[in-house]
Every structure is written in C-alpha cells, then in structure tokens.
Amino acid sequence: MQLIPTGEAEKPRNQFPPVYVGDTLISEEDIAREMQHHPAEEVAEAWHEAAISLVIRELLLQQAKTLKLPEELDEEVTIARVLEQELDVPDPSDEDCKRFHASNPGRFRSPTLMAVSHILLAAAPDDVPERMRQEEIGRQLLSSLVEGRAQFAPLAKQYSVCESRHQGGSLGQISKGQTVEEFERPVLTLKEGLNPELIESRYGWHIVRVDQRIDGEQLPYEHVKPQIRQYLSESVTRRACRQYLQVLAAERGVQGVDLELPDSPLMQ
C-alpha cells in the first residue's frame, strides 16, 4: 500500500472523464489534490475514491444552499448541519439491542488471555535470502524441540533476538491488541503447548509455545448494552446517510463517476 504524493497526483490528468454534480465541474486539480488522502495500489482507484469524496461534499454543499443555511459557516460545519437537519435516524430500541446481542455471541466475550513464549529469528521484510535462511534455521530448531532433543529456554537464549530470551523466551501474558496483527492472529488460535509450525511476522520467524490459555467468557447483555446501542446507532446512521446521498445524486445528477457509497468519513 503506498501513499500517492501530491506531486505525483498530476499524472492522471486527461485519463479520466470529467466529473459533474449537476452543472458544477469537479476540477482535475481538486481531484489531484484530494488523491493524497486516498492511498491505493492503483492510480485509478485513488482517483475514483478522491472523485467520490468531492462529489459527496459538493452534493451536501449544494443542498445547504437549498436549505438556505448561513453562507458564512465553515464547510465542515455546513455539512454537519445538513446531515443533522435532513437525516431522521431512530434510536435503536432495547429489543433491537437484545436481539443483536443474542445473534452475535462471539462479539461480546471477555478477552482470551495467554501466556506465550517465543524464539524470534530476525530478518528484514525485504531481505528475501536472509528470511529464507532464518526459516530453515527455525525449522531445524523446531524439529529438535518436537523430537525432544533440545529445551526451549536454552534455544531462546542462544538464538532469539528478542529481549525475552533472558526470560527463556517468555513474553508473559498477552491478549488481543498487544502484539502485531500478523503474529497475534495465529497465536490467539493456538492450544497450549509447542506450536508445530513457524509463524512469520514483519520481524522474521517465530517459534511459539503457549504456556497457558484462558478462553474469554460470554459477557452478559447489561455489560455490553452501551456498546451495542452505539454500534447499532452508527450503523443505522451510515445506512441512512448512504440512502440520502443516493437520493441527492439522483435529483441533481452526477456524471463521470459511479457513485457507489462506502463508509466514507462524511458518513461516519
């Protein structure tokens, strides 16, 4: 994923159709400037996201004029006023919240706690030969552990580059959100004991042993009611905003982009 610098944003000029909201042209220069806020793998994708963002803004600013909102207001305040005035979003009922809680038991659990030890064999993400070399070393060390020819703590002290090597490789207690995602995702699924496979992260290769696992428990409704109410309220608001913008786009006419409406910052 790369951020497109402002200086490179001029490249897509004339490659894309002109974008209009009604009779108002969204200029190429404005789209080019907006692209830096929409990082993407492809220039065309960044251009499309930038154009949609500016189209949404223009639709709401035009609606502000229709509603005769004060012209001296800041644009962000104006857009917020339009949405506040135009959207009728009902608050989720207690029954809605209870139903959501019952239908999504996995979302409302206390965190799983794990005591984990690891041996980190370091290699930079872009150093392919070194990553391959460390992977082979890792497989050999793991094999010796599985077959009982070596002990975890001495190998951690000898081979690991993590400071945990001084504690036999122990990372202590970890839970979701405390380590990098590519390490955490597989580790939190492991059972107690030595993991028979290496785990790769941005730092290199990990030999992992789960020393203790305490699974999270289902949280009662009253404990999570505020979270559910907020989530449902935001979900309904985004859906109402999306529908409202689609109506505005149909009324005023949008040309040059396919106005698919994801959860953009204006719709949060």
User: pLDDT tier at 14 (50, 70, 90 boundaries)?
Assistant: low
pLDDT in tens, 67-95: 999 988 899 999 999 999 999 888 899 99
Clarify whether residues 202 and 119 are in a common domain. yes
The pTM for the full model equals 0.56
pLDDT in tens, 251-267: 999 999 887 655 444 44
pLDDT in tens, 149-199: 999 999 999 999 999 999 999 999 998 888 899 999 999 999 999 999 999
Expressed as residue numbers, the domain containing 153 is: 113-214
pLDDT in tens, 206-249: 999 999 999 888 899 999 999 999 999 999 999 999 999 999 99
Clarify whether residues 120 and 183 are in a common domain. yes
Written as one string, the DSSP assignment of 62-112 is HHHHHTT--TTS-HHHHHHHHHHHH---PPPPHHHHHHHHHH-GGGSBPPP
The reply to whether 231 falls in a domain is yes
Neighbour-count burial of 99, counting CB atoms closer than 10 A to its CB (0-12 exposed, 13-18 middle, 19+ buried): middle
* Residue 149 three-state SS: coil
Residues in the chain: 268
Q: Cite the DSSP H helix spans in 87-220.
A: 94-103, 128-146, 152-159, 181-187
The reply to whether 251 falls in a domain is yes
Give whole-number Cα distances, 85 to 100, 101, 219, 241, in Å: 28, 31, 37, 12
What per-residue confidence (pLDDT) applies to 98? 93
Q: Hey, what are 95's tokens?
A: 């029954």
Please report, for the domain that includes residue 189, its CATH number: 3.10.50.40
* Residue 120 three-state SS: strand
The Cα 145–Cα 152 span in angstroms is 7
The reply to whether 190 falls in a domain is yes
Clarify whether residues 131 and 194 are in a common domain. yes
What per-residue confidence (pLDDT) applies to 8? 46
More confident residue, 59 or 41: 59
Q: Count of domains in the chain?
A: 2
The Cα 67–Cα 132 span in angstroms is 63
Q: What stretch of H or E contains 231? A: helix 221-252
